[in-house]
Every structure is written in C-alpha cells, then in structure tokens.
Structure 1
Amino acid sequence: MVEDLPNDFEKIRLTDDESKVIGENSVDDDDSNNQIALSLVGKLLTSKPFNVEAMKRTLISIWKLHDNVSIKMLEPNLFVSQFYSEADREMVLDGCPWFFDGKLIVIREINGEEQPSEVFFHHAPMWVRLVDVPFSKRNKKTLIEIGDFLGTFLEIDDTDPLGWGEFVRMKVMIDVGKPLRRGLFLVVGTASSKWVTLKYERLDEFCFFCGRLDHTDSSCSYKDEASETNAEIVYQYGPWLRASPRKTIRKPASEIEREKKLKERLTSARKVRIPSYNDPDAVKLGPPGVARKLQFPPPRPREASLVKAVGVKRKFKRRNVSSFEGVIDSSLKGGNMKGTGQKRNLREEVPDDLLISETQIVKKQKLENLVLAGDGINQVRGVGLSQPPEKQ
C-alpha cells in the first residue's frame, strides 16, 4: 500500500544508484500528452466500500457518450476515465455533478506531473437552489455575487430567463472539505437583510453533525471530539438541505429564446421612476398664501422704467413730486426727467419707503419677464403691472 511506505527519507540510507535522478534529457511524448488530455481522474466521496463494477456500468449508462470510454481503478477509490473523443470528455465535465448510489463523484482533469498518491479533490460543482429570494435580488449581477460567495460561480439555470420561479437555481463550485452552507443573509434596502435558504440537488449522504460531504455522522471525527469533551451533541444539519432532482420537463428552446428577448426589451426600455409625494426627492410646495408673497428684485440704477406716481395713506412726508406716465430716464440729476408722455407737477403725501429718488416714485412697476415665485425648479413669471405692497 502506498500509504504504508515511509515518507521521511531522512531516516533512509539510499544507495548511490537510488540517489541518481534520471529523465532529465528525455522529451515529453506527444502520444502520452494526448492521452492525458483526453482523460479525467475521479473519486467517490465515501469512506465505505462500494461495488466498483456497478459504478462503472452506471457511469457508462448515464453519460450516454458518442464514443467509447475505459474506466480503470488506480486505487480502491481512485479511478481514471479514458475518453476517445474531446466532445465526450467535455460533456462529462459540463454535466457534473454525477452521483452513484447517492454519493457524490468528484472528477477533475489530470496533472501529468502528479503521482496518484498526490491526487486530492478539494472542490466539486453542485446545483444549488436559493429559496425565497427577494424580488429585487433575482438579477444576474446579484446571483453571480452569491455564487462567488458560496464558492465559485459557474452558471445560472437558463430555463427561466425572467426569474419568477419558486426558487433560483445555479451551479457553484463548492469546497467539499468545508461544511455546507445552510443559507445566507442578503442585503435589502439600506439597513436590513433577509435570510435566504439554500438547498442542494441530489444530495444524499453527508454528515448531519458537521455538514461535510466526505463522511456521515456515524464516522464523524468532529462528533467524537465533542463527545470526549462531554459537550452537548447537537445536529446542526439535516435532510432538509436536500432538494429532489429537478424534473426534466423543459420549455421548448423557442419559448426560452422568446423570454430572453422580452427580458432584454424590459432592460432597454426601463422607465424613469416617478417620485411619490413621500419620496424625499420629490418637490413639494406649501400653501397658496405662501406663493402669493412675491419677492421682487431691487430696481437697477440708471435704467429706464415705467412709473406712475400715486399716493398712499401710511407714514407720510410732504414732497414736491412729478407725476409722469411713460418711459423716463431717472439717471438725470437735479430733479429733471426726460422721456415721452405726460408730465405734471403736484404736491402729494407719499410714504418714505416709496421715495426712490428725488424725482420719481415707483409704486407700480411693469412686470415683463420677471420671476415672481419659484421653488428652484418651477418658476412663475408675470407680465403687467404689479399690485401695491398692501395688496400683495
């Protein structure tokens, strides 16, 4: 047995002939490389003995190859499958995982520099079902992130392009040396998360105590360690992690392709979200009375304007003023006005806040292209004469 051979060569005295290294000048044989390229090495994940010949017949039957295949045992639980067609080899790899007698068969490519005793199987692909996935998390980007979290994402079941099924199905390369994941927390919104349950298809034998695939709880070393420390034996895993094999009822290829095109249309014609009243980004106005409190900009100096002098009964000062209707130039000094229209002198009492200059009083101003009110997005403009301050 290979495992019975000593591995510590420091304790072995090698002869001169045994110490020599050969093969340095040899060239790799192309025929040997081609044979390795068409081969796969595999193992049945079990610690119990099994019927090798029955396993061979079962694999040949379920693989349904176009060409021949030869399955040779290197060790009691290590075999090589020699294919004679690249298409058959790829079909077997793509069709993983494979099972025999409810036990997972791990298969991988051969490294020509390895010895059979150095072959280890750390990962295996499995179909995982995500149950009760939130509606907003059934997109491809999120599912790829979930697959990489569980192990290595491989593919999504494309028979349901819209993703509105009872569960989401994906193939993931998982670490067979670690406990199975029973679920995961998925972020929704900004400050909450939801638990998503995981199930594994064709999962038969595994350890209900530690959740690993390569043994059962009857031969679990982790359970033995717990019992030696008088710890409570709690089975954290169970048959509820199993999912029955998916039924082979498939939609017609034309129907699947049609749904894919419809989904592409949904993605390309995505509507802009219209905010509701309670949305923090929505623009909301106050009562109408607030909008009536118009704010006018101060008059620009040295510009012509339309004015009409009138009096109001407030805090008065008696001044000599001119009443004028028309366009005037208020930049002239000495109380003079220049412009077109009718002008007359009068003695009138006017409030202090309406005395803008020595010669004119602005009580009503023509509104033309003037912003009356706004909320930063919508603006109200006016054309005409403004109202007196007491009526605003």
Structure 2
Amino acid sequence: MEELTSNWNRLSLSDREGPGCCLEDDLSFHELFLAAKFLTRRAVNVDAIAKTFTPLWRSRNGFQVRNLGNHMVLFAFDNMEEVEKVIQSEPWSFDKHLMILEKYDKNNSMEELQFKRTTFWVQVHGLPIKFMNVRAATKICEVLGTVLPSTNPHEYEGGNFVRIRVSLDVTIPLCRGRLVSIGRDKEVWVSFKYERLPNICYWCGCFDHDDKDCEKWLNSFYKSRQSVSSQPVPQSQKEQEKSCPTSPVQARSSTAGADWTDSMSPERITELVQNGKPQSVTNHSQQFASCTSPSVT
C-alpha cells in the first residue's frame, strides 16, 4: 500500500485530472425514512408488508422495506412529498393491527424512537344542534390528545356528527366519550367513534394486545372461578350425595375439575381460552363502537 501511494504521488496530473470538483450534499441521493412499529405479537413478514402498501401508497419511484426486528421495519422513500402524504393519511394498519409511523433521521439511533402517537379522525356524536361546530367539538376532544387543524373545512362535516383529527397517545386506553355540561343544570354524554379503528382490546381499550390476552380479563376470569368454588354446597346436594354414595375414585373425579381450575395460573387460563372467550367479552366489546371507512390513499 505504501508503494502504491508513493507511485501515485509521483504522477503528474493534467488540468482536467486535477482537483476542482467538489460534491456537495445536495447532489447526493437522499433517502427519506419512515420507521414503523406493528402492535402485534405475530412475526412481521416484509414481503407481505410491501405487497400490502405498494398499491395503497402509490409511490412514484417505489419504496424499500427493511426489517429491523422487534416488530419494526424501515420504509425508505426518495420523495418528501410522498412521506408527508403517508403520514397525513394515518392511521394505517396491517393484518388489522395498528402500525405506528415516525419520521426517522438516519443520524439518530433507533432507540430514540418512541412509537407512542398516531392520528385518528374522531367522530363526535351526541352534540346538541347548537353546539355541532368545530370549536365546540375541538374543546371536547382536547381530552383525547393534540387536536390537529385541517385546511379543508368540509373534512369536519359528518351530517349528524362532527369530525375532528386528533393525535392520540396509543400507550393509554381509548376514551369512549365524555360527559359534557350544558350550562349549569344539564349534562349530556358525548360519544367518540374512531374511523378506521384496527384491533384493540375491548376490555381495557388498549392497542398493544387483544382481549384474550388482557390481564384485566384474565384476572376477572380467574377471580370468578375462585368465587364459584368457594360457595357453600347446598343441603339438598349433600343429602343426595349421602343417598347415592360413590367410590373414592368417582368422588375424586367429581371434584377434580373444580380443584384443577382453581389451581390454574393466568398463563394456563390463557392457553385454555385461545379458541374461545366468555360471552361477556363479546357484550363488553360494544363499548368501543368503531366506524370504518375506505383506506385513504
């Protein structure tokens, strides 16, 4: 290497071969990155992600997808306008699970990304006619997060409701509505409906798990089993057992189920209910009504 360097130094360069050409940053290929995190426990398939979002985003020069692990991917674009278009069209979901997007500066580390916020159009229902305007709906929706203004006034119109665009913190449960005071002597319940709402937990309203994996539901189910097993045996049942004696094996079999379920851990209960859930979960899910609309492209 030292010999090559010395030989190069002895060469004489012409005017065209010598210095004088300087490459500035504006001549480089600028990749613009969007980091994404998928709130799901399933493995992320990069090929399926690319096939899903290519027709939705309609990027002029296409985009690249890189798997970062831990349910995170990196989308690389070459056009800032397309990046802004994707962000303005939130929320996005993949396989019915929420995908959180953040602009990524390649000079920073991935650990600095928080993946805490995404944007939803929220429908405000139940407003009295005289308060069905953007100002009143904006004040009500301040409890949800940061209200984002829109340059198109027609986007707020929804007929019998008002639409407000809000940046939500996805680490806290969704808000179902709000009790609003009308004057001093009247209160009305104003409900929120979230457009293009992906899968959530209908027990607690969180995005990061399904209802069958909710600790709140598991604890409730586990406690209900304990309360049933702790109830005293009716006298009529005791008399029936005395009149129809059973063998020790039969007696053990008749109570083994209760003892077994009483000793189950929440993890074991989760395994048992993977293929189903109590009817109470389905009924409880009605608390979080959602309104779906075609994907924004």
**Category of TM-score, reference length = shorter chain:** 0.5 to 0.7
Aligned partner letter, 2:93:
F
Partner in structure 2 of residue 25 of structure 1: none
Q: 1:247 to 1:42 in 2, by over 3 A?
A: closer
Q: 1:115 to 1:221 in 2, by over 3 A?
A: farther
Aligned partner of 2:292 among 245, 268, 271: 245
**Deviation sequence 1:141-181 (CA, Å, 0-9, x none):** 222222322111114573366x5712211221111111111
Q: 1:72 to 1:105 in 2, by over 3 A?
A: same
Q: 1:241 to 1:209 in 2, by over 3 A?
A: closer
Aligned partner of 1:158 among 137, 153, 159: 153
Within 5 A, what are the aligned runs for 1:216-235? 216-227=210-221, 235=281
Percent identity between the two aligned chains: 27
CA distance in 1, matches of 2:171, 2:38: 14
Instruction: Please state whether the residue corresponding to 1:159 is helix, strand or coil.
Output: helix
CA distance in 2, matches of 1:34, 1:73: 21
8 Å CA contact 2:97, 2:198 repeated in 1: yes
Within 5 A, what are the aligned runs for 1:154-193? 154-155=148-149, 158-159=153-154, 163=157, 165-193=159-187
8 Å CA contact 1:203, 1:242 repeated in 2: no
8 Å CA contact 1:186, 1:195 repeated in 2: yes
- Structure with the greater alpha carbon radius of gyration: 1
Partner in structure 2 of residue 58 of structure 1: 52
Q: Kindly state the Cα deviation for residue 240 of structure 1 after the two structures are TM-superposed.
A: 5.4
Within 5 A, what are the aligned runs for 1:127-146? 127-146=121-140
Highest relative contact order (Cα 8 Å, sep 6+), 1 or 2?
2
Q: Which has the higher strand share?
A: 1
CA distance in 1, matches of 2:138, 2:292: 22
Q: Kindly state the Cα deviation for residue 107 of structure 1 after the two structures are TM-superposed.
A: 0.2
Q: Which moved more, 1:53-62 or 1:106-115?
A: 106-115
CA distance in 2, matches of 1:50, 1:75: 8
Aligned partner letter, 1:170:
I
Within 5 A, what are the aligned runs for 1:180-329? 180-227=174-221, 235=281, 237-239=284-286, 241-246=288-293
Partner in structure 2 of residue 339 of structure 1: none
Structural RMSD (CA): 3.1
TM-score (norm 1): 0.49
Gapped runs of 5+ residues in structure 2?
1-23, 228-277
Q: 1:218 to 1:190 in 2, by over 3 A?
A: same
Q: 1:160 to 1:112 in 2, by over 3 A?
A: closer
Q: 1:160 to 1:99 in 2, by over 3 A?
A: closer
8 Å CA contact 1:67, 1:88 repeated in 2: no
8 Å CA contact 1:211, 1:237 repeated in 2: no
**Deviation sequence 1:250-292 (CA, Å, 0-9, x none):** xxxxxxxxxxxxxxxxxxxxxxxxxxxxxxxxxxxxxxxxxxx
Q: Kindly state the Cα deviation for residue 125 of structure 1 after the two structures are TM-superposed.
A: 0.7
Instruction: Please state whether the residue corresponding to 1:210 is helix, strand or coil.
Output: coil
Q: 1:99 to 1:87 in 2, by over 3 A?
A: same
Partner in structure 2 of residue 120 of structure 1: 114
Q: Kindly state the Cα deviation for residue 135 of structure 1 after the two structures are TM-superposed.
A: 1.4
8 Å CA contact 1:126, 1:173 repeated in 2: yes
Aligned partner of 1:80 among 65, 74, 81: 74
CA distance in 2, matches of 1:164, 1:127: 11
8 Å CA contact 1:208, 1:217 repeated in 2: yes
Q: 1:63 to 1:39 in 2, by over 3 A?
A: same
Aligned length: 218
Q: Kindly state the Cα deviation for residue 77 of structure 1 after the two structures are TM-superposed.
A: 1.0
CA distance in 1, matches of 2:77, 2:132: 39
